[in-house]
């Protein structure tokens, strides 16, 4: 049986031969591999005019690359292709180059698998990983056997074991889907407990500095590392110092170009935190030469999640790393209309916090309400989330004039009350 602990890529100090069709994308692949402690021994950018159905790249080109890999002083442990390969293409390429082959989607899945810490994240990643493995089982099975310390055995035995594993993987996928349904129910309860709070979701490309910004806005200590996909779980923290009305900030999993569709599907419940947000803060790494492309990738994912029409504040983070006027201008052009700051600059973070609160204050309206004397809970909520400017005690309940955010008013289920002449009689 394929266990979740088994890696798509062997662990240890590995040297990889990377092959892609775009230099900037290969730069990102290098960073992805660095996250897995894999060093790029040889890197080749080979744009293709026409994709070859069986091998993606031409067989002649692949044979040439094998000779180059064989000539390396440091042996090549894996052949990493910076595109998403079909199971057949992956298998055919491996036959030509003679070493384990993995594509971009597999690398991203492996990073997620190694970084998953919570029960929810582990379940989500294992499901996505097994959905990726299932159609590639014939190709990947020998790699898993080597990880177990055994040989592949003869062809007949191998084929028999593959069929057994295929059935077990399908069964495991069903178990994980059921488990995720239960986890999603728990998440719905958690979200319901925050229904009467205003929520700000921090979204953006991986390693844009979302967790660092969350820590600065909330004075908390969420894990923030300078590596890709350090955060896989949604983290919720209240703005600090406390605001009125209360606002919570939510850190979400980072996006990346060509993210495997199985991951988006598996992380559905986590990504729903974005859909529930009242405001999106889109964090962009100002220091990246690919700031515009990363911004657009995040926008595309938000569109897939049907969150592209939500009110959004764009923040150019890491602006302290821009040392020249030309760099500042380039970042400004890449993402126009954005707020430039550094999450490490306390004053800039305070200004951003004020901007977030001002956004909600502009949505506050004056509501005339009558609250039954028996509904102490609603009265307490109005005192916490609104500003009461007038109180009058009527026979039917307490008349309140409250400045209240329309979103919260809807969540609390309050209705406007029209004062009548009889209400004005002392």
- Over residues 60-94, the pLDDT tens digits come to 999 999 999 999 988 999 999 999 999 999 999 99
Confidence band for 408, pLDDT divided at 50, 70 and 90: confident
**Across all residues in the chain, what is the average pLDDT?**
87
Reply yes or no on whether the pLDDT at 241 is more than 80. Answer: no
Q: Supply the CATH number for residue 108's domain.
A: 3.40.50.11060
Q: What was the pLDDT predicted at 147?
A: 55
Q: What was the pLDDT predicted at 141?
A: 59
Q: Count up the domains in the chain and report the number.
A: 3
Cis peptide before 245 (omega within 30 of 0): yes
* Count of C-beta atoms within a 10 Å radius of residue 22: 13
Whether 77 and 138 share a structural domain: yes
Whether 347 and 275 share a structural domain: yes
Whether 214 and 355 share a structural domain: yes
Whether 403 and 345 share a structural domain: no
Confidence band for 317, pLDDT divided at 50, 70 and 90: very high
Report the pLDDT averaged over residues 95-109.
93
Q: What was the pLDDT predicted at 144?
A: 56
Whether 368 and 289 share a structural domain: no
Whether 148 and 265 share a structural domain: no
Q: Which of 360, 389, 412 is the last residue of a domain?
A: 360
Among the residue ranges 153-162, 367-376, 391-400, the one predicted with the least confidence is 153-162
Confidence band for 24, pLDDT divided at 50, 70 and 90: very high
Where is pLDDT greater, at 85 or 258? 85
Q: Supply the CATH number for residue 264's domain.
A: 3.40.50.300
Q: Considering the domain boundaries, does residue 6 fall inside one?
A: no
Q: 331-377, pLDDT tens digit by residue?
A: 888 898 889 999 999 999 999 999 999 999 888 899 999 999 999 99
Cis peptide before 380 (omega within 30 of 0): no
Reply yes or no on whether the pLDDT at 51 is more than 80. Answer: yes
Most confident of 30-34, 157-161, 322-326, 329-333: 30-34
Extract long-range pairs of 89-95: CB within 8 Å, 24+ residues apart. Answer: 89/53, 89/54, 89/55, 89/56, 90/136, 90/139, 91/136, 91/138, 91/139, 92/54, 92/55, 93/55, 93/56, 93/57, 93/62, 94/139
Q: What was the pLDDT predicted at 159?
A: 62
Among the residue ranges 64-68, 94-98, 267-271, 406-410, the one predicted with the least confidence is 267-271
Q: What was the pLDDT predicted at 1?
A: 47
Determine what percent of the chain is predicted with pLDDT higher than 90: 56
Determine what percent of the chain is predicted with pLDDT higher than 70: 91
Where is pLDDT greater, at 163 or 15? 15
User: Is residue 252 within 8 Å of residue 202, measured between CB atoms?
Assistant: yes
Q: What was the pLDDT predicted at 15?
A: 94
- Which tokens go with 89? 């293409």
* Count of C-beta atoms within a 10 Å radius of residue 222: 16
Reply yes or no on whether the pLDDT at 282 is more than 80. Answer: yes
Whether 24 and 134 share a structural domain: yes
User: Is residue 284 within 8 Å of residue 261, measured between CB atoms?
Assistant: no
Whether 36 and 57 share a structural domain: yes
Where is pLDDT greater, at 347 or 426? 347
Whether 287 and 302 share a structural domain: yes
Whether 285 and 332 share a structural domain: yes
Q: What was the pLDDT predicted at 296?
A: 94
Reply yes or no on whether the pLDDT at 149 is more than 70. Answer: no
Q: What was the pLDDT predicted at 152?
A: 45
Whether 42 and 97 share a structural domain: yes
Helix (H) or strand (E) holding 114: helix 104-115
- Which tokens go with 414? 């309050």
User: Is residue 59 within 8 Å of residue 96, measured between CB atoms?
Assistant: yes
Query: What is the extent of the structural domain holding 140?
Result: 14-168
């Amino acid at each position: 049986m394929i266990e979740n602990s088994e890696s798509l890529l062997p662990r240890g100090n590995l040297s990889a031969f990377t092959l892609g069709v775009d230099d900037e994308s290969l730069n990102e692949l290098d960073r992805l591999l660095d996250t897995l402690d894999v060093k790029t021994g040889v890197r080749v950018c080979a744009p293709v005019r026409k994709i070859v159905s069986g091998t993606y790249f031409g067989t002649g080109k692949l044979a040439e690359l094998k000779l180059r890999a064989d000539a390396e002083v440091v042996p090549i442990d894996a052949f990493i292709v910076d595109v998403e390969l079909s199971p057949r293409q992956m298998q055919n390429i491996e036959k030509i180059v003679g070493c384990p082959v993995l594509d971009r989607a597999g690398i991203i899945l492996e990073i997620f698998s190694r970084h998953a810490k919570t029960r929810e994240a582990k379940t989500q990643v294992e499901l996505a990983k097994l959905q990726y493995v299932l159609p590639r089982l014939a190709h990947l099975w020998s790699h898993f056997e080597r990880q177990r310390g055994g040989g592949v055995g003869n062809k007949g035995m191998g084929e028999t074991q593959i069929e057994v594993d295929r059935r077990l993987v399908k069964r495991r996928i069903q178990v994980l889907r059921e488990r995720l349904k239960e986890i999603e129910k728990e998440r719905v309860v958690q979200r319901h407990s925050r229904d009467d709070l205003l929520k700000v979701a921090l979204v953006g490309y991986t390693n844009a500095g979302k967790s660092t910004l969350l820590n600065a806005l909330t004075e908390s200590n969420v894990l923030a590392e300078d590596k890709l996909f350090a955060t896989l779980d949604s983290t919720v923290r209240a703005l600090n110092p406390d605001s009125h009305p209360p606002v919570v900030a939510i850190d979400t999993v980072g996006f990346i170009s060509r993210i495997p569709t199985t991951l988006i599907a598996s992380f559905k419940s986590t990504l729903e935190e974005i859909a529930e947000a009242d405001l999106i803060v889109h964090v962009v790494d100002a220091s990246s030469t690919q700031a515009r492309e990363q911004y657009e990738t995040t926008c595309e994912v938000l569109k897939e999640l049907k969150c592209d029409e939500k009110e959004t504040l764009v923040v150019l983070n890491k602006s302290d790393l821009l040392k020249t006027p030309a760099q500042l201008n380039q970042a400004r052009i890449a993402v126009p209309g954005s707020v430039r700051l550094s999450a490490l600059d306390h004053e800039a973070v305070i200004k951003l916090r004020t901007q977030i609160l001002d956004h909600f204050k502009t949505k506050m309206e004056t509501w005339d309400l009558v609250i039954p004397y028996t509904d102490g809970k609603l009265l307490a909520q109005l005192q916490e989330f609104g500003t009461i400017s007038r109180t009058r005690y009527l026979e039917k309940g307490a008349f309140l004039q409250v400045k209240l955010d329309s979103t919260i008013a809807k969540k609390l289920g309050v209705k406007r009350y029209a004062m009548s002449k009889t209400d004005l009689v002392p």
